[in-house]
């Protein structure tokens, strides 16, 4: 909020009555409003831009000669989840800020599903010491699939409305179509409460077209980040929805969608960028939102259009363009300086008028604060887990049985529903390593009911061993995939011992693991420590035969009960489009 005193001081500074705090001298300003690039100076006072007039000369306490570098507005990630990075907000700063990202629009639904409103408040304790901005997309789905999963907390319409009034809250977080198409009153109330506050509702319209999409949009949904092809993108634009073009670790959509923009000469006014879920090492080596921009330019998009998608378009969408998204008078001074608009590698990043990153490093370390002890103890197994926990019994007396299998799609979180025949031995359905049909299980981790559900999955490629993770979207029970029940049991018990985390097991031995004590989702360690540990875990997974680029990200999404075609929760196999539990075995065999 801007006070009378701040506005008066800014005006008086522009009139030359006070010195500016900072002058960025000799820059090429990328003006995303006028779509021009021109030589000028930028004057900053009290975190805000005072002037960009090339003909004015104001005094400043500090002057930085930018030597003709481009000045680009700080980049905005339109939709992301901290928890998928496995880093605390403080640790994440060292990864995203040097890439030029100064605002993260974060749906904290992961920690909310684990620990509710109390968990959200614990996460936000760090805001004032961060060298970037957190804006909250208030979690609409806690739990995500009521009746189909067990979670640690519930956020009803009353709680969501209260959180929506927090200063940091800018939207209602992603809402999947089942809540609209099945006319769920609670979620319609959440939409109404949000729209009546003149805030927007984020979408999650995966797989929906035609009248279903029209009905979905009619409820007041503003956007979608789940498009995987050009047809889906165009159909959403037609019904007035904005599209967030996503590039995460297991959701690679930039190439397909930007190629569609270029080939169809589409307007970019209603398009933005997001990462959704991206591991820290990939952010560090590949880039963050600046990667989305640079890759889009390589694919033929004009640099100005790509930059607008990452800045002013997003600010306008969230109705905060008066604060961020451009380098214009009165806006907060979020600026990156770079030599090349095509690669967009920042030399300097400025956040609210202060230099926070230089030459790829934070100017000042952002230390991880102390998180409360209670949030580090959210993993409790009600029952002992053994190899028998993952046996799949059948009453079928044949040598083989047909089952529903989750068939993974490379570089996407969506999957295909396939039916496969598996052998039966001693009244148990067996997996099929030779054809890459492995066991997938979800173990309830809140100590509520001890549920264990086991299904089958194709696509991980493991030849031996097992992998487990305590971040299983969106319920965040323990998910494990393996070639044998013994290693699966060892893996799940190791996760419980760690109070949440990841591990790789082979021949009964834990080959490597990492603790994620903050809600069983995030580490208290530095970004470098977490990234090094993840590199080792990915290498161990590769030794088992998994060739995925981001195996644990894929593992975290494979059980999701809101992404077609199938999901798996602690209660069983979910037909996502029908929003119901189904039997593992195919009926009428």
Q: What does 506-553 look like in DSSP terms, one character per residue?
A: ETTEEEEEEE--BTTTB-SS-HHHHHHHHHHHHHHHHHTT---SSHHH
On whether residue 565 sits in a domain, the answer given is yes
For position 154, what pLDDT does the model report? 92
Contacts of 420 (CB under 8 A, 6+ apart): 402, 403, 405, 432, 435, 437, 456, 458
Mark whether 471 and 413 lie in a shared domain: yes
Comparing CA positions, the residue from 313, 309, 314 lying closest to residue 296 is 309
Last residue of a domain, one of 266, 289, 324: 324
For position 396, what pLDDT does the model report? 86
Mark whether 315 and 379 lie in a shared domain: no
Mark whether 387 and 285 lie in a shared domain: no
**Count of residues in the chain:** 589
For position 589, what pLDDT does the model report? 62
Please tell me the distance from the alpha carbon of residue 137 to that of residue 202, in angstroms, as a whole number: 8
On whether residue 267 sits in a domain, the answer given is yes
Structure tokens at 372: 């409360």
For position 397, what pLDDT does the model report? 84
DSSP, collapsed to helix, strand or coil, labels residue 348 as: strand
Cα dihedral 108, 113, 117, 119, rounded to 10, equals -70
CB burial of 40-54 (b: ≥16 within 10 Å; e: otherwise) equals bbbbbbbbbbbbbee
DSSP code, position 236: H
Mark whether 300 and 446 lie in a shared domain: no
DSSP, collapsed to helix, strand or coil, labels residue 201 as: strand
CATH code of residue 257: 3.20.20.140
For position 474, what pLDDT does the model report? 85
Structure tokens at 477: 């029970």
- Across 176-270, the runs of DSSP E, i.e. the strands, are 200-203, 223-224, 242-246
Please tell me the distance from the alpha carbon of residue 438 to that of residue 428, in angstroms, as a whole number: 14
Instruction: Give the bridge partners for 422, in sequence order.
Output: 401
| Neighbour-count burial of 466, counting CB atoms closer than 10 A to its CB (0-12 exposed, 13-18 middle, 19+ buried) | buried
Mark whether 315 and 392 lie in a shared domain: no
The shares of helix, strand and coil residues in the chain, as percent rounded to the nearest 5, are: 30, 30, 40
Which stretches in the chain have pLDDT values below 50? none
Mark whether 130 and 258 lie in a shared domain: yes
Please tell me the distance from the alpha carbon of residue 468 to that of residue 102, in angstroms, as a whole number: 33
257, 245 Cβ separation under 8 angstroms? yes
Percentage of the chain surpassing pLDDT 90?
91
Mark whether 442 and 318 lie in a shared domain: no
The DSSP annotation for 365-431 comes to -----PPPGGGG---B-SS---GGGG--B----SSEEEEEEEEE-TT-S-EEEEEEEEEEETTEE--
352, 121 Cβ separation under 8 angstroms? no
Mark whether 217 and 82 lie in a shared domain: yes
Cis peptide upstream of residue 474 (ω within 30 degrees of 0): yes
Cα dihedral 337, 340, 345, 350, rounded to 10, equals 10
270, 237 Cβ separation under 8 angstroms? yes
For position 516, what pLDDT does the model report? 97
On whether residue 258 sits in a domain, the answer given is yes
Please tell me the distance from the alpha carbon of residue 208 to that of residue 486, in angstroms, as a whole number: 40
Mark whether 192 and 284 lie in a shared domain: yes
Query: Number of folded domains in the chain?
Result: 2
Please tell me the distance from the alpha carbon of residue 122 to that of residue 107, in angstroms, as a whole number: 15
Instruction: Give the bridge partners for 245, in sequence order.
Output: 273
Mark whether 315 and 381 lie in a shared domain: no
**Cα-to-chain-centroid distance, residue 511:** 28
Please tell me the distance from the alpha carbon of residue 363 to that of residue 365, in angstroms, as a whole number: 7
On whether residue 332 sits in a domain, the answer given is no
Q: The pTM is what?
A: 0.92
- E strand or H helix at 578: none
Contacts of 25 (CB under 8 A, 6+ apart): 41, 63, 64, 65, 66
Mark whether 409 and 294 lie in a shared domain: no
Mark whether 259 and 381 lie in a shared domain: no
169-175: strand order across its sheet = 75-80, 101-106, 133-138, 169-175, 200-203
| Neighbour-count burial of 362, counting CB atoms closer than 10 A to its CB (0-12 exposed, 13-18 middle, 19+ buried) | middle
Please tell me the distance from the alpha carbon of residue 478 to that of residue 389, in angstroms, as a whole number: 13
Domain around 501:
374-582
On whether residue 532 sits in a domain, the answer given is yes
On whether residue 191 sits in a domain, the answer given is yes
Quick count: other Cβ atoms within 10 Å of Cβ 73? 29
On whether residue 57 sits in a domain, the answer given is no
Sign of CA dihedral 108, 113, 114, 118: positive
Structure tokens at 16: 């030359």
On whether residue 260 sits in a domain, the answer given is yes
114: left (phi over 0), alpha (psi -120 to 50) or beta: alpha
């Amino acid at each position: 909020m801007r006070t009378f005193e701040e506005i008066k001081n800014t005006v008086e500074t522009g009139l030359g009555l006070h010195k500016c705090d900072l002058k960025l001298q000799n820059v090429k300003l990328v003006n995303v409003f006028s779509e021009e690039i021109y030589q000028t100076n930028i004057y900053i006072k009290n975190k805000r831009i005072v002037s960009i007039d090339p003909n004015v000369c104001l005094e400043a306490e500090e002057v930085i000669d930018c030597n003709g570098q481009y000045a680009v507005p700080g980049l905005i990630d339109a939709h992301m989840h901290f928890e998928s990075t496995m880093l605390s907000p403080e640790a994440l700063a060292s990864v995203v800020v040097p890439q030029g990202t100064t605002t993260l629009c974060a749906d904290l639904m992961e920690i909310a599903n684990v620990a509710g409103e109390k968990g959200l408040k614990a996460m936000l304790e760090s805001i004032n010491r961060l060298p970037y901005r957190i804006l909250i997309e208030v979690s609409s789905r806690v739990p995500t699939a009521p009746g189909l999963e067990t979670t640690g907390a519930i956020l009803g319409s009353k709680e969501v409305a209260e959180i929506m009034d927090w200063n940091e809250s800018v939207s209602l977080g992603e809402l999947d179509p089942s809540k609209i198409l099945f006319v769920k009153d609670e979620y319609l109330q959440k939409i109404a409460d949000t729209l009546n506050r003149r805030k927007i509702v984020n979408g999650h319209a995966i797989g929906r077209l035609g009248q279903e999409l029209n009905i979905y949009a009619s409820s007041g949904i503003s956007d979608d980040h789940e498009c995987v092809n050009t047809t889906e993108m165009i159909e959403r634009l037609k019904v007035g929805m904005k599209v967030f073009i996503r590039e995460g670790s297991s959701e690679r959509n930039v190439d397909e969608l930007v190629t569609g923009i270029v080939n169809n000469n589409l307007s970019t006014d209603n398009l933005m960028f997001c990462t959704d879920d991206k591991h820290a090492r990939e952010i560090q080596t590949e880039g963050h939102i600046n990667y989305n921009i640079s890759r889009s330019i390589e694919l033929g998009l004009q640099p100005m259009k790509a930059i607008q998608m990452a800045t002013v378009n997003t600010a306008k969408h969230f109705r905060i363009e008066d604060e961020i998204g451009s380098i214009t008078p009165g806006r907060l001074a979020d600026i990156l300086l770079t030599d090349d608009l095509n690669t967009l590698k920042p030399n300097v990043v400025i956040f609210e008028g202060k230099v926070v990153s230089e030459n790829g490093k934070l100017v000042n370390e952002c230390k991880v604060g102390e998180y409360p002890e209670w949030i580090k103890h959210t993993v409790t197994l009600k029952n002992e887990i053994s190899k028998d926990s993952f046996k799949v019994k059948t009453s079928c007396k044949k040598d083989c049985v047909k089952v529903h299998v989750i068939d993974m799609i490379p570089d996407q979180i969506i999957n295909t529903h396939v039916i496969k025949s598996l052998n039966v031995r001693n009244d148990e359905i067996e997996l099929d390593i030779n054809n890459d049909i492995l066991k997938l299980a979800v173990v309830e981790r809140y100590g509520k009911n001890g549920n264990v559900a086991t299904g089958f999955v194709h696509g991980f490629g493991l030849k031996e061993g097992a992998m487990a993770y305590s971040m299983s979207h969106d319920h965040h029970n323990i998910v494990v995939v393996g070639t044998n029940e013994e290693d699966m049991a060892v893996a799940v018990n190791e996760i419980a011992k760690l109070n949440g985390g990841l591990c790789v097991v082979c021949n009964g031995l834990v080959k490597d693991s990492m603790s994620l004590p903050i809600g069983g989702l995030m580490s208290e360690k530095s970004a470098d420590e977490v990234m090094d540990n993840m590199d080792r875990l990915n290498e161990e997974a590769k030794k088992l035969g998994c060739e995925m680029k981001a195996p644990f990200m894929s593992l975290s999404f494979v059980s999701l009960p809101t992404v077609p075609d199938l999901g798996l929760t602690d209660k069983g196999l979910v037909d996502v489009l029908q929003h119901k539990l189904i039997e593992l075995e195919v009926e009428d065999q």
